[in-house]
């Protein structure tokens, strides 16, 4: 059979590896902030994610090792443990595994998951999160920003949706959205969740609209209600908008002009 | 993700010398579209004709060196999973004795068609078949734009640059020759900006020539015919231009001006690690020999024929190179990779030079939904392979597009065949029906005529019976005329048979009408005959005697009809076997048959007149 | 009371919705008057082998039977599963697997007359539905391979059994890209697979 003999872009596995690599500074800062418990949380979340993914793959009668090798489960675990630094370890494991099983495997594996497992996992954990005033985590935010910029430079970041979100946040500064910029969850969701392909529209225009809509929804929620956690709100908005992604695709995707 | 930034940069062959492969132990030449004209065991000289083109799309094959023909038979092709193709094996004897072929001394006098046929005989190939398509050359329409394509249309490819660096003067000579014969309003040599060394080699020559050098800025699939035309042709020229590969043009120059058939080509052997070797290799040299010449071993590497993006894996290193083998890519063997489901990253869509949505196309192609694939513009895919090369999930995008396009082509052919069969079947039914009617009519006519004759004969012996006899005669004549009219009416739809259903229905309706009229004519004839019989009842013995005399006339008429039928059968057969374009045959046969019938009728009519 | 009223309202709403949907669906469907008759459209997607394996005297009679709804769409072996799918799409019915009593599918073939044995009886000419056989009485007959649909109707009438079916020749030009497999294998040079 014909083989695409030269590859001009990294494969899925190497993409996911580089996304993990871009998270390294953030992980380091979190370890520094929270100490060994954070390491334990990270390790157990990863284990639970891998377990859930293999279970799902086995259930769907797919080859397990090639599926795991893509690294998506690991990425989900790391993202969730960064998002939920203060959650209890069992809760973290439960929502990581649950999100992977429910939102990825049940929908038919990566690529078919209409709702991003990280956003879903965050929402799953939300009711049990300790309520408290959100605090700005500037170092972590900066580390994430740096990682995102590195991804952008590598050409691995589909930047339209994050750009749409940031634009809206910047425009809404007079309304008082400035504090959002200090939230590490915002950067994490923007750089690693909103840039995912299957949960967002596929056309650049659709992604821009998606990002802007997410920003507007999120800002109206946090300013109009008393919900203090930007991350959970944004995750909920993303899930809500993901449901409209197929519609946006239908509107923006066309075969193009015939020649 | 932009194309220029991720495509491997073109490297000039400048510093590398052009290698020449040593004489291989065996040459394997394919005979596609050519029929062999040598025998096994025969000794052939270099340049000797081995096979003649036997179709519009084939080219002749000449011996690349002197030697013996060792075998003629099926050989593996350089295509994945392809069936064996007839070929011949030539064992060189190392003497390289050449047949001296005369150069075309009076080449400026050649017409475009003569040139095209000469090139076909000299084995000069273009993109598809002979360098100059014969169908195009036969039209002899004035050419607005002739593009000589020297753009390297694959990463790592250097063959055309190498040719231009080494043989710039010969290429210029060949272009001047083509310009002289084909008389294009504009002659352009297209080259890519990165091919610096080749541009330098040409700049000095382009000054006082009839052609211009066009330097293309666009990235990779810029060397595609369609892309070049879009880039270079002015709107008024776009319908009337031709694009020829520079290697073929060079070979054409050697063939026409120096009498050398095309027996070798320049091949780039690349390892994709900025390490490329260019070599001139005889057509039919085994791939393994080329690798050895480049210092590589075919045992340790995966081989790709035809470049990094559109190429395909070679099953076998003994396969001989052919005129399209511009590039051999040698890669370390890779571990088995598994494709993952599409993650809808959109990278394929953003890189596609035809602005397609490969992910949607793939979705439909992989589910065999060809109509949907067509809706997503499968026809516009230039099969450049960029989408496959960037897809992070490593989906076989290009493969499925190739397969789907071929399936579409096949479906189209099947539809054509089915339409032809439908037409033939309907015509056959129409013909059977018509034959039935005709038979009935003939019977009616014959009865009417017989009656008329009987009436005449009955009238002749007795003068007192004359009034009744003439009446019967008149009636019989009317019946015959009506029958003829009916037949004529029936002929009318036969001129344009079963072209579409409505006309067919009209024809059938006319047939029915004719049948009714024929039945009426029959009834009238019967009546006339009865009356004639009544009139002749008195003179029965005379009638019985005269009946024998009637027979020759009838026989003549019968013979005429038989002749007509035979004519028709002949005409049908001739029409059916005459041309491959069988769609019109039925029509032709029908017209011929109608003409034959008309002639027969006229003859028969004359006879009856004479009889009277 | 209000419950009944609400239920009635709900029913009314559903009825209205159904009416709107139906009328819009009718509007969306292409006007049937401009299309050729249904039998013609069915005939256009039948393979025109004219072999009669569907139990009708040819493709058009089968198409007419289908148009009248008197036969099922899974009876034409030359059309294959693809043909059934096309018929199902055209007739807005479900795909059906091949009828159990339908003759098996065969690869496309063309008839070949053994010219040494042919006695020139013209019986095969009369049987061929597409006039693909040439010849006249007491002369050798031959098949026009390009026109032969492979219907096998000429086999039975031949009194000397000189007609055989040959697979439609596969030319090198008929080569197709193989179906892309999802697992991409590394190439093993040297091993002729
Ligand atoms: S192969 Fe076809 S679909 Fe893919 S990038 Fe090239 S033109 Fe576009
Ligand atoms: S590049 Fe591959 S994974 Fe990405 S959208 Fe295209 S087909 Fe899907
Ligand atoms: S079975 Fe034969 S006759 Fe019947 S529809 Fe199919 S091809 Fe036509
Ligand atoms: S030649 Fe025989 S098999 Fe071919 S179409 Fe005619 S009857 Fe059918």
Nearest CA to ligand 3 atom 8: C59
Q: Same domain, yes or no, for A54 and A84?
A: yes
For B569, the closest of C50, C136, C149 (CB atoms) is C136
Q: Same domain, yes or no, for C73 and C112?
A: no
Q: Same domain, yes or no, for C111 and C165?
A: yes
Which of B393, B412, B431 is the endpoint of a domain? Answer: B412
Say if A118 falls within a structural domain: yes
Nearest residue of C to residue A3, measured between CA atoms: C184
Q: Same domain, yes or no, for B120 and B236?
A: yes
The average pLDDT across C94-99 equals 88
Q: What are phi and psi of C30, to 5 degrees?
A: -65, 145
Q: How many domains does chain B have?
A: 3
Distance between CA C11 and CA A61 in Å, rounded? 45
- pLDDT for res B551: 41
- Which of C179, C187, C188, C189 has the highest number of chain A CBs within 10 A, making it the mutation to test binding with A? C187
Domain extent for C79: 38-91
For B339, the closest of C40, C49, C182 (CB atoms) is C182
- pLDDT for res C1: 64
The average pLDDT across B431-450 equals 93
Range in B305-319, B590-604, C102-116 the model is least confident about:
B590-604
CA distance C36 to chain B (A): 10
Q: Does C180 contact A2 at a Cβ distance shorter than 8 Å?
A: yes
Say if B35 falls within a structural domain: no
Range in A66-70, B327-331, B504-508 the model is least confident about:
B504-508
Confidence of residue B5 (pLDDT cuts 50, 70, 90): confident
Using the predicted structure, report yes or no on whether residue C5 has a pLDDT greater than 80. Answer: no
Range in A145-149, B57-61, B432-436 the model is least confident about:
B57-61
Using the predicted structure, report yes or no on whether residue B465 has a pLDDT greater than 70. Answer: no
Confidence of residue B120 (pLDDT cuts 50, 70, 90): very high
Nearest residue of B to residue C190, measured between CA atoms: B316
Stronger pLDDT, C160 or B590, i.e. the higher one: C160
Q: How many domains does chain A have?
A: 2
Domain extent for A203: 140-252
Say if B177 falls within a structural domain: yes
CA distance C116 to chain A (A): 45
Say if C72 falls within a structural domain: yes
Domain extent for B363: 347-412
Can you give the CATH number for the domain in which B170 is found?
Answer: 3.40.50.11540
Q: Same domain, yes or no, for A244 and A144?
A: yes
Stronger pLDDT, A4 or B473, i.e. the higher one: B473
Q: Does B357 contact A255 at a Cβ distance shorter than 8 Å?
A: yes
Q: Does B424 contact C147 at a Cβ distance shorter than 8 Å?
A: yes
Confidence of residue A133 (pLDDT cuts 50, 70, 90): low
The CB of B365 under 6 Å from ligand 1? The reply is no
- From chain C residues 119-178, the ones with a CB under 8 A of any chain A CB are 177-178
Say if A63 falls within a structural domain: yes
Q: Tokens 């953003």 map to which residue?
A: B350
The CB of B382 under 6 Å from ligand 1? The reply is yes
Ligand 3, pocket-test mutation among C39, C43, C50, C84, most atoms within 8 A of CB: C50
Nearest residue of C to residue B501, measured between CA atoms: C40
Ligand nearest to the CA of B400: 1
CB-based contact, A2 to chain C, within 8 Å: yes
Beta pairing partners, B191:
B215
Say if A7 falls within a structural domain: no
Q: Tokens 């050419």 map to which residue?
A: B143
Range in A205-209, B43-47, C4-8, C81-85 the model is least confident about:
C4-8
B387 marked as part of a ligand binding site: yes
For C129, the closest of B76, B337, B428 (CB atoms) is B428
Using the predicted structure, report yes or no on whether residue B42 has a pLDDT greater than 90. Answer: yes
Q: How far is ligand 1, taken at its centre, from the CA of residue B354, in Å?
A: 7
Q: Same domain, yes or no, for C113 and C82?
A: no
Predicted confidence (pLDDT) per residue in C21-78, tens digit:
676 666 555 555 577 888 999 999 999 999 889 899 889 999 999 999 888 999 999 9
The CB of C87 under 6 Å from ligand 3? The reply is no
Cβ atoms of A121 and A94 closer than 8 Å: no
Nearest residue of C to residue A63, measured between CA atoms: C183
Say if B358 falls within a structural domain: yes
Say if A81 falls within a structural domain: yes
Stronger pLDDT, C7 or B518, i.e. the higher one: C7
Residues of chain A positioned with their CB less than 8 A from the CB of C186: 3
Average pLDDT, chain B: 78
Which of A128, A160, A190 is the endpoint of a domain? Answer: A128
CB-based contact, A6 to chain C, within 8 Å: no
Which residues, at least 6 apart from C143, have a Cβ–Cβ distance to it below 8 Å? C110, C111, C112, C113, C132, C133, C134, C154, C163
The average pLDDT across C74-85 equals 89
Can you give the CATH number for the domain in which C60 is found?
Answer: 1.10.15.40
Using the predicted structure, report yes or no on whether residue A6 has a pLDDT greater than 50. Answer: yes
- pLDDT for res B549: 42
Q: How many domains does chain C have?
A: 2
Residues of chain A positioned with their CB less than 8 A from the CB of C177: 2
Distance between CA B34 and CA B49 in Å, rounded? 11
Using the predicted structure, report yes or no on whether residue B221 has a pLDDT greater than 50. Answer: yes
Q: Same domain, yes or no, for B206 and B325?
A: yes
Residues of chain C positioned with their CB less than 8 A from the CB of B569: 136
The average pLDDT across B573-595 equals 46
Which of A65, A94, A128 is the endpoint of a domain? Answer: A128
Using the predicted structure, report yes or no on whether residue A29 has a pLDDT greater than 60. Answer: yes
Predicted confidence (pLDDT) per residue in B261-283, tens digit:
999 999 999 886 667 889 999 99
- pLDDT for res C184: 29
Say if A135 falls within a structural domain: no
- pLDDT for res B498: 38
Count CB-CB contacts under 10 A for residue C26: 9
Using the predicted structure, report yes or no on whether residue C115 has a pLDDT greater than 50. Answer: yes
- pLDDT for res A42: 94
Using the predicted structure, report yes or no on whether residue B83 has a pLDDT greater than 80. Answer: no
Reading the block at residue A24, the tokens are 């390294």
Using the predicted structure, report yes or no on whether residue A220 has a pLDDT greater than 70. Answer: yes
Element (H, E) at B507: helix B501-536
Predicted confidence (pLDDT) per residue in A89-110, tens digit:
999 999 999 999 988 888 888 7
Q: Tokens 């009708």 map to which residue?
A: C56
Say if A5 falls within a structural domain: no
Q: Same domain, yes or no, for B355 and B270?
A: no
What percent helix, strand, coil does chain A show, rounded to 5? Answer: 70, 0, 30
The average pLDDT across B397-424 equals 88
Q: Same domain, yes or no, for B533 and B573?
A: yes
The average pLDDT across B157-179 equals 91
Say if B598 falls within a structural domain: yes
Which of A75, A94, A128 is the endpoint of a domain? Answer: A128
What percent helix, strand, coil does chain B show, rounded to 5? Answer: 50, 15, 30
C162 marked as part of a ligand binding site: no
The average pLDDT across B136-159 equals 87
Say if C78 falls within a structural domain: yes
Say if A3 falls within a structural domain: no
Q: Enumerate long-range contacts of A49-54, CB under 8 Å, 24 or more apart.
A: A49/A73, A49/A74, A49/A76, A49/A77, A49/A96, A49/A97, A49/A100, A50/A74, A50/A77, A51/A97, A52/A96, A52/A97, A52/A98, A52/A100, A52/A101, A52/A105, A53/A100, A53/A104, A53/A105
Ligand nearest to the CA of A253: 2
Q: Same domain, yes or no, for B154 and B121?
A: yes
- B partners (3+ CB pairs within 8 A) are A, C
- pLDDT for res B50: 94
- From chain B residues 46-105, the ones with a CB under 8 A of any chain C CB are 76-77, 79-86
Q: Same domain, yes or no, for C115 and C86?
A: no
Torsion of Cα atoms, B240 then B243 then B249 then B253, to 10°? 10
- From chain A residues 122-141, the ones with a CB under 8 A of any chain C CB are none
Using the predicted structure, report yes or no on whether residue B14 has a pLDDT greater than 80. Answer: no
Q: Among B493, B496, B498, B522, which residue's Cα sits nearest to residue B510?
A: B493
Confidence of residue A208 (pLDDT cuts 50, 70, 90): very high
Q: What is the ipTM of this complex?
A: 0.90
Q: Same domain, yes or no, for B544 and B399?
A: no
Confidence of residue B474 (pLDDT cuts 50, 70, 90): low
The CB of B50 under 6 Å from ligand 2? The reply is no
Stronger pLDDT, A201 or B497, i.e. the higher one: A201
Q: Same domain, yes or no, for A114 and A206?
A: no
Q: Same domain, yes or no, for B176 and B249?
A: yes
Using the predicted structure, report yes or no on whether residue C169 has a pLDDT greater than 60. Answer: no
Predicted confidence (pLDDT) per residue in A222-239, tens digit:
888 776 678 888 899 999
Q: Same domain, yes or no, for A168 and A102?
A: no
Using the predicted structure, report yes or no on whether residue B41 has a pLDDT greater than 50. Answer: yes
- pLDDT for res A121: 92
Which of B394, B412, B430 is the endpoint of a domain? Answer: B412
Using the predicted structure, report yes or no on whether residue B470 has a pLDDT greater than 60. Answer: no
Q: Same domain, yes or no, for B246 and B353?
A: no
Radius of gyration of chain B (CA): 36
- pLDDT for res B552: 43
Q: Same domain, yes or no, for A159 and A192?
A: yes
- pLDDT for res B480: 64
Q: Tokens 């059916």 map to which residue?
A: B576
Q: Same domain, yes or no, for B175 and B109?
A: yes
Q: Same domain, yes or no, for A193 and A228?
A: yes
Average pLDDT, chain A: 88
- pLDDT for res B93: 92
Using the predicted structure, report yes or no on whether residue A176 has a pLDDT greater than 80. Answer: no
Predicted confidence (pLDDT) per residue in B244-259, tens digit:
999 999 999 999 999 8
Q: Same domain, yes or no, for A175 and A243?
A: yes
Per-residue CA distances from B170 to B56, B199, B301 (Å): 28, 15, 36
- pLDDT for res C18: 76
- Half-sphere exposure of residue A21: CA atoms within 13 angstroms, side-chain side: 11
Q: In what order do the strands lie in the sheet with B145-149?
A: B212-216, B186-192, B145-149, B241-245
Q: Same domain, yes or no, for B126 and B225?
A: yes
Beta pairing partners, B245:
B149
Say if A175 falls within a structural domain: yes
Predicted confidence (pLDDT) per residue in A47-65, tens digit:
999 999 999 999 988 888 8
- pLDDT for res B252: 94
- From chain B residues 387-406, the ones with a CB under 8 A of any chain A CB are 388-394, 396, 398-399, 402
For A3, the closest of C177, C178, C187 (CB atoms) is C187
B36 marked as part of a ligand binding site: no
Reading the block at residue B471, the tokens are 């009446």
Ligand 4, pocket-test mutation among C118, C150, C161, C164, most atoms within 8 A of CB: C150
Cβ atoms of B418 and C130 closer than 8 Å: no
Angle at which helix A12-34 crosses helix A72-83, to 10 degrees, equals 30
DSSP sequence for A127-184: GGSPP------HHHHHHHHHHHHHHHHTT----HHHHHHHHHHHHTGGGT-GGGGG-H
Q: Same domain, yes or no, for B248 and B382?
A: no
Say if C118 falls within a structural domain: yes
CB-based contact, A3 to chain C, within 8 Å: yes
Nearest residue of C to residue B397, measured between CA atoms: C180
Distance between CA B348 and CA B492 in Å, rounded? 60
Q: Same domain, yes or no, for B523 and B386?
A: no
The average pLDDT across A70-78 equals 93
For B335, the closest of C147, C186, C193 (CB atoms) is C186
The average pLDDT across B23-32 equals 89
Using the predicted structure, report yes or no on whether residue B463 has a pLDDT greater than 70. Answer: no
């Amino acid at each position: 059979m014909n083989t695409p003999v030269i590859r001009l872009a990294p494969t899925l596995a190497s993409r996911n590896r580089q996304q993990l690599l871009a998270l390294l500074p953030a992980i380091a800062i979190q370890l520094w902030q929270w100490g060994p418990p954070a390491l334990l949380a990270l390790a157990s979340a990863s284990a639970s994610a891998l377990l859930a993914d293999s279970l799902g793959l086995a259930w769907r009668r797919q080859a397990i090792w090639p599926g795991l090798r893509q690294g998506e489960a690991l990425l989900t675990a790391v993202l969730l443990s960064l998002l939920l630094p203060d959650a209890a370890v069992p809760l973290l494991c439960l929502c990581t595994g649950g999100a992977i099983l429910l939102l990825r495997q049940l929908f038919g594996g990566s690529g078919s998951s209409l709702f991003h497992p990280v956003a879903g996992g965050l929402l799953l954990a939300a009711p049990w999160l300790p309520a408290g005033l959100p605090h700005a985590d500037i170092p972590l935010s900066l580390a994430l920003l740096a990682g995102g910029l590195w991804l952008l430079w590598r050409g691995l970041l589909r930047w339209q949706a994050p750009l749409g979100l940031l634009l809206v946040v910047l425009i809404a500064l007079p309304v008082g959205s400035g504090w959002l910029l200090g939230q590490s969850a915002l950067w994490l969701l923007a750089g690693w969740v909103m840039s995912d392909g299957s949960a967002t529209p596929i056309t650049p225009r659709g992604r821009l609209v998606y990002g802007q809509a997410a920003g507007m929804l999120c800002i109206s929620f946090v300013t109009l209600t008393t919900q203090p956690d930007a991350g959970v709100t944004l995750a909920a908005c993303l899930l809500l908008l993901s449901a409209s992604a197929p519609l946006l695709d239908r509107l923006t995707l066309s075969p193009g002009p015939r020649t | 993700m932009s194309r220029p930034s991720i495509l491997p940069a073109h490297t000039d062959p400048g510093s590398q010398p052009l290698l020449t492969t040593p004489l291989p132990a065996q040459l394997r030449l394919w005979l596609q579209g050519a029929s062999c004209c040598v025998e096994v065991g025969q000794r052939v000289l270099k340049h000797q004709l081995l096979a003649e083109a036997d179709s519009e799309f084939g080219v002749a094959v000449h011996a690349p060196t002197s030697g013996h023909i060792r075998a003629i038979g099926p050989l593996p092709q350089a295509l994945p999973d392809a069936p064996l193709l007839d070929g011949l094996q030539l064992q060189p004897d190392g003497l390289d004795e050449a047949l001296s072929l005369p150069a075309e001394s009076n080449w400026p006098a050649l017409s475009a068609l003569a040139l095209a046929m000469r090139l076909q005989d000299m084995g000069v190939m273009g993109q598809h078949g002979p360098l100059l398509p014969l169908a195009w050359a036969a039209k002899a329409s004035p050419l607005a734009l002739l593009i000589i394509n020297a753009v390297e249309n694959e990463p790592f490819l250097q063959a055309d640059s190498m040719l231009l660096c080494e043989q710039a003067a010969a290429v210029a000579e060949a272009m001047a020759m083509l310009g002289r014969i084909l008389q294009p309003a504009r002659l352009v040599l297209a080259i890519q900006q990165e091919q610096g060394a080749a541009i330098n080699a040409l700049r000095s020559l382009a000054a006082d020539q009839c052609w211009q050098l066009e330097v293309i800025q666009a990235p990779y699939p810029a060397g595609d015919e369609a892309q070049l035309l879009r880039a270079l042709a002015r709107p008024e020229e776009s319908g009337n231009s031709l694009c020829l590969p520079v290697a073929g043009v060079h070979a054409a120059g050697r063939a026409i001006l120096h009498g050398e058939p095309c027996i070798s080509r320049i091949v780039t052997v690349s390892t994709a690690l900025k390490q490329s070797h260019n070599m001139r290799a005889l057509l039919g040299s085994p791939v393994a020999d080329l690798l050895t010449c480049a210092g590589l071993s075919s045992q340790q590497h995966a081989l790709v024929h035809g470049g990094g993006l559109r190429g395909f894996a070679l099953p076998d290193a003994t396969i001989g190179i052919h005129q399209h083998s511009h590039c051999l890519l040698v890669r370390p063997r890779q571990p088995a990779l598994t494709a993952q489901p599409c993650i809808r990253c959109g990278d394929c869509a953003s890189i596609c030079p035809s602005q397609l949505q490969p992910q949607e196309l793939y979705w439909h192609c992989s589910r065999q939904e060809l109509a949907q694939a067509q809706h997503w513009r499968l026809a516009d895919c230039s099969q450049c392979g960029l989408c496959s090369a960037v897809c992070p999930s490593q989906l076989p995008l290009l493969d499925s597009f190739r397969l789907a396009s071929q399936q579409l082509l096949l479906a189209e052919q099947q539809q054509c065949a089915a339409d032809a069969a439908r037409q033939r079947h309907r015509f056959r039914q129409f013909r059977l029906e018509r034959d039935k009617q005709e038979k009935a009519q003939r019977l009616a006519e014959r009865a009417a005529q017989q009656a008329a004759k009987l009436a005449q004969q009955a009238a002749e012996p007795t003068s007192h019976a004359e009034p009744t006899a003439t009446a019967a005669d008149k009636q019989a004549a009317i019946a015959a005329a009506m029958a003829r009219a009916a037949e004529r009416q029936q002929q009318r739809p036969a001129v344009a048979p079963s072209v579409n259903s409505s006309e067919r229905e009209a024809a059938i309706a006319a047939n029915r009408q004719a049948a009714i009229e024929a039945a009426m004519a029959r009834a009238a004839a019967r009546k006339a005959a009865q009356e004639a019989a009544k009139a002749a009842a008195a003179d029965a013995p005379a009638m019985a005697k005269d009946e024998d005399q009637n027979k020759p006339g009838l026989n003549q008429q019968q013979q005429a009809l038989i002749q007509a039928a035979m004519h028709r059968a002949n005409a049908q057969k001739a029409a059916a076997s005459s041309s491959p374009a069988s769609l019109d045959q039925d029509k032709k046969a029908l017209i011929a048959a109608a003409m034959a019938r008309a002639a027969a009728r006229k003859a028969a009519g004359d006879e009856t007149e004479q009889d009277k | 009371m209000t419950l009944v009223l609400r239920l009635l309202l709900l029913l009314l709403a559903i009825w209205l919705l159904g009416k709107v949907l139906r009328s819009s669906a009718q509007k969306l469907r292409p006007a049937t008057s401009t299309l050729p008759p249904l039998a013609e459209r069915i005939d256009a997607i039948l393979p025109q082998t004219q072999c009669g394996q569907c139990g009708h005297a040819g493709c058009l009679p089968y198409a007419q039977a289908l148009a009248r709804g008197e036969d099922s769409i899974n009876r034409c072996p030359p059309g294959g599963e693809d043909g059934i799918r096309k018929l199902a799409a055209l007739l807005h019915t479900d795909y059906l697997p091949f009828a159990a009593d339908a003759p098996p599918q065969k690869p496309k073939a063309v008839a070949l007359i053994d010219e040494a044995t042919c006695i020139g009886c013209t019986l095969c000419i009369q049987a061929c539905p597409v006039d693909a056989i040439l010849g006249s009485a007491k002369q050798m007959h031959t098949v026009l391979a390009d026109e032969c649909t492979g219907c096998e109707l000429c086999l039975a009438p031949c009194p000397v059994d000189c007609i055989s079916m040959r697979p439609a020749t596969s030319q090198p030009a008929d080569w197709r890209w193989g179906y892309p497999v999802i697992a991409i294998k590394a190439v093993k040079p040297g091993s002729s697979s």
